[in-house]
Amino acid sequence: MTGPAAELVLRAQGALRASGADAKWADGPPFHVTAAFLGETDASRLADLRACAAEAAAEAPPPAEAALEGLGAFPSWEAPKVLWAGVGRGGGDLTAAGRAIIRRLAAHGFPVEDRPFVPHATLGRLRSKRGLAALAAAAERWRAPEAWAGASFACGPVRLIASVLTPNGPIHTELS
C-alpha cells in the first residue's frame, strides 16, 4: 500500500519508534496485507500457489479499496509481539478473500496457521519488553479509529511474495 495509508503508517511508526521500544520496524512504503505466511516452500510448488491464488480470487475477490482503522497488537496489548494497523472499511471483504486463500492453500496441501485471519499491515515486531510502558503511551493515540481518517488504499490482485530474512530485515521479491 502506498498513498495516504502508507503516510499514516509512517507517522504512527515514527511516534511509536520515539517511545524507545525495542522493535524492528517494517520497511516501507509500500506496506502490505499478508493473507498467509507459508515459511520455506519448494520452488516446484509455484504453479500450485498460483492456482490457489486464482481459485481464491474467483471465490472471494478482494475489494477495490480498503482503509486502515486503529492500532492493534498480537497476541495482545498485555504481551505485544507484533504491532499492526487494522483494516476497517473493506475489512470484511479482505477477511473473506484471506480465508479463501487459506482454504485453497490447505486443499493443495500447504501448511496453514490454525488461527483466524485478521487483515492488517504490520508496523513492527517487538524484540524484547524494553520500553513497553512508553510504547503503550505512544500507541494510545493510534488505537483510536479517528487517528487513521483518510487512510484508504487500493487493493490490487493477490501477489505471491518471497521473503528472505536478513540481519537488516526481510527482503521481499514478487514471484507472481
Q: Check which CATH number belongs to the domain holding 36 and give it.
A: 3.90.1140.10
For residue 80, cis peptide bond before it (omega within 30 degrees of 0) = no
- The pLDDT tens digits for 123-158 are 999 999 999 999 999 999 999 989 999 889 998 788
- The pLDDT tens digits for 29-56 are 888 888 888 888 888 998 999 899 888 8
Alpha helix ranges (H) inside the chain: 3-17, 46-59, 91-107, 132-143
Q: Which residues on neighbouring strands pair with residue 174, listed in sequence order?
A: 161
pLDDT above 70 coverage of the chain, percent: 99
Report, as an integer, the average pLDDT of 65-78. 92
Report, as an integer, the average pLDDT of 2-14. 91
Question: 102-137 burial, b if ≥16 CB within 10 A, otherwise e?
Answer: bbbbeeeebebeeeebebbbbbbbbeeeebbeebbe
pLDDT computed for residue 31 by the predictor: 85
Which residues form the domain of 47? 3-174
Q: Which residues contact 86 (CB under 8 A, 6 or more apart)?
A: 68, 69, 70, 71, 72, 118, 119, 120
Instruction: Report the C-alpha gap between 117 and 154 in whole angstroms.
Output: 20
pLDDT computed for residue 71 by the predictor: 94
Report, as an integer, the average pLDDT of 159-165. 81
The per-residue pLDDT of the chain, averaged, comes to: 89
CB contact at 8 A, 157 and 50? no
pLDDT computed for residue 22 by the predictor: 93
Residue 169, pLDDT > 70, answer: no
pTM surpassing 0.75? Answer: yes
Q: Which residues contact 130 (CB under 8 A, 6 or more apart)?
A: 20, 21, 22
Residue 83, pLDDT > 70, answer: yes
User: pLDDT class for 113, splitting at 50, 70, 90?
Assistant: confident
Residue 100, pLDDT > 70, answer: yes
Cα 74 vs. chain centroid, distance in angstroms? 11
pLDDT computed for residue 109 by the predictor: 92
Cell of 79: 504481551
Report, as an integer, the average pLDDT of 11-27. 93
State the total domains in the chain. 1
Instruction: Report the C-alpha gap between 83 and 57 in whole angstroms.
Output: 28
